[in-house]
Amino acid sequence: MIRFSRLSIFFFLLLPLGSFADSANDAIARATAAMVAGIPRAQADPLRPIFHVTSPAQWMNDPNGPIFYQGYYHLFYQLNPFGDGDGPKHWGHVRSRDLAKWEPLPIALAPSTEAGEAGVWSGCCTINDRGEPMIFYTSVAQGKSAFDHAEQWAATSDDDLIHWQKSPANPVLSEELHGGRKIYDWRDPFVFHDGKKTFLVAGGHLEKKARAAVNIYQAENSDLTKWIYRGVLFELPDPNTPTAECPNFFKLGDQWVLFVSPYGKVQYFIGDFDATTCRFKARAQGTLDYGSSFYAPNTMQLPDDRRLVWGWINGFPGGHGWNGCLSLPRLLSISRDGELHQQPAPQLTKLRGKPVEWRNLHLENHNAALTLPKTNTLEIQADLSLNTESIIEIKLKSGATDAQPIYITFNRTTLGVMDSRAPLQIGQKLSLRIFIDRSVLEVFANETVCLTKIIPPLDNNSTLEIHSFEDPATAKLVRAWPMQTIW
Ligand code: FRU
């Protein structure tokens, strides 16, 4: 756990180093003080995850601007430092050398209230053509509804991405760019490059409650402060989709991938991008996570061109002094048959403690309850060999007799995690990675299906039972590790 004293001293020490204007300094100091005041309560809460990225306290939502820069993985996130519910959005900040251990950093961006700004909403971080780190985000104005009016602003940093100055060129993109076209909920800029060209996509919808669309813009200067509108990159196939928040558009291998958050489960599309016409044609479509707690993901390009994604895990009970965390980092790839694969970042194995394991369990007559490591922060791996009709049931149960078990089931074509279902077509092998971090559960099945849920935490005396019905099945390996904190 982060200790309160270490963290608060850290925040206050860093603040005077800022070279930004006084009003920005004041706004960040006020936000920091409010957040630090919330730390003792947030950190004492037994629901609070310890190996997922969280804000030190208060409300957080979307991951913003993931970037690997000068040897650090940086993540920013939407933060309301003043309370554990929705409120004026700032950008919180953490970084890591190895994707396993993380370090909280000072709040990166606060609304410039003197310039009429009410919220610093989601966006991205990139390096402009002059080598300068640059954030793009949606600026929401005081007294205006983001549904009807938004601007895209930029900020630059000349140190280790810790202190940021808003661009004198703001707004760097405004609605006038669209000519006569009205775009509702216009937001969440994401910059990408293709050859020598730099593009930006932003989400929204073309009718009041319909025609979700991702819009595309092309940079006209190396500072990335001048842009032209190139039209609609992609309109979602179902015209009733209400919106397309937080678009991410990137190349994975030789294919283009688009993520959008449509107020429901996050959708991905795989297809081709024509950089001349600025249009995307999708060949395949899928769901990034089948739980109801994963939203607004954002991706990071790695130096070797691989890509990681983090989502916002939401749906926690209110009133605990904190709310929200980021998913574990997931490494993305496209399989030979054109499916999107997600695998927990390999570096997460550094957080594992000493495992317990069982091998070659015949599940049709396996009645023993396996004793898990004595903690409620766990990783469980289960490699199963199935027959055509096998039905599998995994039951995770606290020691307390009245505790409600967590069920993970598989019946030929469907993976079930508590009350959520996901289609899963497999051959004879089912490989599960299950992460339990107090009130967070993330399940990866055969790297193709992910399902994130909020759960009542297990206690420190939990067991695992695993059975097969209808047709025999074998657990080649079941292994469980206690997981350590990332802080
Ligand atoms: C997605 C979202 C974004 C917006 C941000 C505000 O969860 O609605 O579209 O920029 O949250 O916090």
- pLDDT tens-place string over residues 69-102: 999 999 999 999 999 999 999 999 999 999 999 9
- Ligand 1: residue of 187, 190, 243, 295 to mutate (most ligand atoms within 8 A of CB) is 187
Which of 314, 272, 256, 310 has the alpha carbon at shortest distance from 288? 310
Cα separation, 273 vs 196, in Å, equals 15
Q: First-to-last CA distance in the chain?
A: 6
Cα separation, 64 vs 205, in Å, equals 21
Cα separation, 91 vs 108, in Å, equals 5
The CA-based dihedral angle spanning residues 343, 349, 355, 361, taken in that order and rounded to the nearest 10 degrees: 20
Whole-prediction pTM = 0.96
- Ligand 1: residue of 55, 62, 145 to mutate (most ligand atoms within 8 A of CB) is 62
3-state secondary structure of 178: helix
Quote the pLDDT of residue 367: 79
- Regarding the beta carbon of 245 and ligand 1, being less than 6 Å apart is answered yes
- Regarding the beta carbon of 202 and ligand 1, being less than 6 Å apart is answered no
Q: Whose CA is nearest to atom 8 of ligand 1?
A: 245
- Regarding the beta carbon of 273 and ligand 1, being less than 6 Å apart is answered no
3-state secondary structure of 483: strand
**Residue range 101-130: average pLDDT?**
97
Handedness of CA 86, 88, 93, 99 (dihedral sign): positive
374 or 25, which is more confident: 374
Cα Rg for the chain, rounded, in angstroms?
23
- pLDDT tens-place string over residues 309-361: 999 999 999 999 999 999 999 999 999 888 999 999 999 999 999 999 999 99
Checking if the pLDDT of 18 tops 80, the result is no
Cα separation, 46 vs 371, in Å, equals 22
